[in-house]
A = this chain, B = another copy of it.
């Protein structure tokens, strides 16, 4: 791999981190644009008959993104109270949701906070273990690192983006 690093002038580990972070940013930006384009009424609708509402998925994505803070060693969750209604419980559980305008704000806030931490994370830190794997397991499975969490959460965002896009009126 030294050839690659020498040719491009970018160490290969930095290159890979850039690729993973770019993919994360791309999906977050798409979600933010979609949330901004949808009215409160559109977000209140089901993404398909009997399927999750836009509000539930917004709350779910806020809660899961918030959970990345402790998982990646970036600090405590900002909104631990969202875990129960949007992760532990299914949509329509009867759990009370915050007003959608609040959830919209939380989405931007948590993503901005996470982006700040992401920008300050060194290559060595990305390849260190995340908080939900033991040191013993990590020694055997070194791919269970912080960057892997980011890759998997990017796919989680894409999965729900594919559903949320159904809230947009079809041209």
Binds B, one of A74-82, A103-111, A159-167: A159-167
Interface residues of A in 49-75 (CB under 8 A from B): 49-51
User: Could you say which of B49, B143, B155, B166 contacts A158, with CB atoms under 8 Å apart?
Assistant: B155
A15 adjacent to chain B (CB < 8 Å) = yes
Rounded to whole angstroms, the CA-CA distance of A158 and B26 in the bound complex is 14
Tell me the smallest distance from the CB of A88 to a CB of chain B, in Å.
Answer: 17
User: Could you say which of B1, B18, B155 contacts A154, with CB atoms under 8 Å apart?
Assistant: B155
Which residue from chain B places its CB closest to the CB of A50 in the assembled complex? B170
Most interface-central of A4, A7, A139 (chain B CB within 10 A): A4
State whether A3 touches B124 (Cβ < 8 A): yes
What is the 8 Å Cβ interface bit string for chain A, positions 123-150, against chain B (1 contact, 0 not)? 1100110000000000100110101100
A37 adjacent to chain B (CB < 8 Å) = no
